[in-house]
């Protein structure tokens, strides 16, 4: 599989012997960084929605913040399992 146009942080590569499926897993710190970025972008989007009076943009911003919080939590869990 070739990934183009985006930077990808591949930390762990596992191949399942039963089906040969390759799985790439990001580190906990990568998840936490993506979560922080989504949270920040969501705050900006929410503020833009409030300023422009767009309920839809405001809601998308709030949803993106929740997504970021979930990613951060996922990173925290991964980091705690690595210890």
pTM of the full predicted structure? Answer: 0.69
Question: What pLDDT score was predicted for residue 10?
Answer: 46
Tell me the pLDDT tens digit for each residue of 12-64. Answer: 555 556 666 666 667 888 999 999 999 999 999 999 999 999 999 999 999 99
Domain residue ranges of the chain, discontinuous segments joined by +: 27-82
61 CB-contact burial (10 Å; exposed 0-12 / middle 13-18 / buried 19+): buried
């Amino acid at each position: 599989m070739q990934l183009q146009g985006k930077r990808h942080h591949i930390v762990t590569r596992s191949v399942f012997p039963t089906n040969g499926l390759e799985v790439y897993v990001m580190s906990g710190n990568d998840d936490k960084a993506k979560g922080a970025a989504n949270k920040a972008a969501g705050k900006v989007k929410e503020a833009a929605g409030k300023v422009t009076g767009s309920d839809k943009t405001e809601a998308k911003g709030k949803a993106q913040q929740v997504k970021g919080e979930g990613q951060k939590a996922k990173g925290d869990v991964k980091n705690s399992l690595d210890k």
